[in-house]
Structure formats: structure tokens, C-alpha cells
Amino acid sequence: MKSFQNKVAAITGAGSGIGRALAINLAGQGCALALSDVNSAGLAETAKACEAKGVKVTQTKVDVANRDAIYAWAEASAKAHGQINLVFNNAGVALGAAVDGMKFEDFRWIMDINFWGVVHGSQAFLPYLKASGDGHIINISSIFGIIGVPSQSAYNASKFAVRGFTEALRIELDMAKSPVSTTCVHPGGIKTNIARAARFDDNMKALIGQEAEQGKARFEKMFITTPETAAETILKGVRRNSRRVLIGPDAVAVDLMQRLLPTGYQKLVGLGTKLQMSKGK
């Protein structure tokens, strides 16, 4: 897909962050939009900004964890726009908790959104993407879908799962000579509100040496890439039909570390975590 002009893109988590940046960027390139989010206010703001660029925009409040809701949104979007060419399964949440003592409800919550939301969106839109004759599925994983990190086991699990699912789907589509392709995206630290909106277990302070709110602030300081830059990088990857897209110098560095030290990186991450703990005390 070399151009987004006169295409239609469906985006989850479009009310803020990367989702909003993708929507505005695509609208500026003449791409119509089917937007969704659980945050109606943020979604409306994104829709307004995109409509100002002269493209057709529909907006729907959707919880990506709800399979029936995603299928209904996909059907309604295809009817409203006549076709769907791209789906960006972008909605996601974060959870900071050590495995020892993590609440099952929190683990299920993050998997339902980060992983099952991607599965639901991919399966629901796939028939419409095939029918368009030129379709693309873009699933947002994370650099934490490439390496494991203390306190992020549940987030790691969800993002590793997105990576495996997307890569397997890409191979299936290639084998079938399908008109649909996939790209798995691995952002590093992006300046969004994901950390502030994250769930942090109170026991986290025993691991990171500080209160949860302080921990969120420290995480946010490590976010170095803007959503707008992330969106531009993602769309370049789609145009190139890239199988994997890394976003930010931190993501590139971490990916290189994992390649050079596929198991040894764990000791380095452990040492880095201990250093952060000592600074937080």
C-alpha cells in the first residue's frame, strides 16, 4: 500500500496518544476513518480534528475486550464507508505488578485488552480487508514484546502474545497469497498517558523502591518519542510492507541488545532495575 488516499482505516484507542496521531496523520493524507475508543470525550476530539481535514469520519465507543462489540463495529464501519483497507489494533493498557502477589483480575484485565483486543480486531476486520483487495493489519506490540522486564510480566505476556499472533498471521496470509498483509509494531517509550492510566500494585514499591505514583512519574521520564513521530514511523512501515517496525532509539537499542545477548540481556536488565531501585530509595 503506497498511498492512503481514498483508503479507509479503522483505529482502536483513537482517543489519545498514538491512535489520535495516526488518525490525524491519515486524515491529512485523504484517508477516511472509522475511529473507536472507550473514552468518548477523547474520541470526539480526535474525530473533530480529523473532520477538519475534509475526510469522512465515524466514531464509536468500543471496548476492545468485548468481542461482540468489535464485530458489530467492524460491520457498521464497512457499511458506513463502503470498504475497510486498514485496521490499527492500537488500544492498550499497562500494569505494574510483581508475579508474586499479582491479582488475577488485573492479569485478566490487561490480557483482555492488549491481547484479545488485537485478536478480536484482526478477526473481525479480516473479511473486509480481503474484500477491499488491498488490506493491512497493524498490531501494536511493544519493545516489552521483545524482552522481559521485572514488574511487567503481565504486560510482557500480552505484548509477546501480540507479536507471536501477528507474525504467525503474516505467514498464513503470505502462504495464501492474500491481498492482506500485517505489520507488528514495537514502540519504545512514547509520550502518552499509558503510564499515568496504568494499574500499579501497591506491592510495586517493594520492587522499585517508591510509591506507585512516583513510579509512574519515573516511567514517564523515560518516554522520549512523540506520538506524532511514532505515527509517521508506523505509516512508513506500512507503505514498505514491513513485517516489524521499531519506534524510537530506545526500541532499536533494546532490540539490538536482545539479538546480541538473547538470554544474557536478563542479567543486564536485572542490574538496571536494581540501580533504579537504589535511586528510588
In the predicted model, what is the mean pLDDT of residues 2-21? 96
Evaluate if residue 257 carries a pLDDT over 60: yes
C-alpha angle 22/28/32, rounded to 5°? Answer: 75
- Does residue 159 belong to any structural domain of this protein? yes
- Does residue 229 belong to any structural domain of this protein? yes
**CA torsion through residues 19, 25, 29, 30, sign:** positive
- Whole-number mean pLDDT of the chain? 90
pLDDT at 204: 58
Q: Regarding predicted confidence, which is higher, 278 or 73?
A: 73
- Does residue 127 belong to any structural domain of this protein? yes
- Does residue 217 belong to any structural domain of this protein? no
> What distance in Å separates the CA atoms of residue 65 and residue 116, rounded to the nearest whole number?
6
> What distance in Å separates the CA atoms of residue 76 and residue 70, rounded to the nearest whole number?
10
Q: Regarding predicted confidence, which is higher, 76 or 96?
A: 76
- Cell numbers 522520549 correspond to 224
pLDDT at 96: 87
CA atoms within 13 A on the CB side of 41: 0
- Does residue 265 belong to any structural domain of this protein? no
Whether 155 is a known active-site residue: answer yes
Q: What is the pLDDT of residues 130-164, one digit of tens each?
A: 999 999 999 999 999 999 999 899 999 999 999 99
pLDDT band at 275 (very low <50, low <70, confident <90, very high): confident
Q: Regarding predicted confidence, which is higher, 212 or 120?
A: 120
Evaluate if residue 82 carries a pLDDT over 80: yes
- Does residue 262 belong to any structural domain of this protein? no
Q: Regarding predicted confidence, which is higher, 136 or 96?
A: 136
Q: What is the CATH number of the domain that holds 60?
A: 3.40.50.720
Share of the chain residues as helix, strand and coil, in percent rounded to the nearest 5: 55, 15, 30
Q: What percent of the chain has pLDDT over 90?
A: 79
Candidate list 71, 128, 155, 265, residue with the active-site label: 155
Q: What percent of the chain has pLDDT over 70?
A: 86
Q: What is the pLDDT of residues 45-63, one digit of tens each?
A: 999 999 999 999 999 999 9
pLDDT at 217: 53
Evaluate if residue 129 carries a pLDDT over 80: yes
88 DSSP 8-state letter:
E
What is the domain extent for residue 13? 8-94+101-195+225-251
Total domains, the chain: 1
pLDDT at 225: 85
Evaluate if residue 263 carries a pLDDT over 60: yes
Is the pTM here over 0.75, yes or no? yes
- Does residue 13 belong to any structural domain of this protein? yes
- Does residue 271 belong to any structural domain of this protein? no
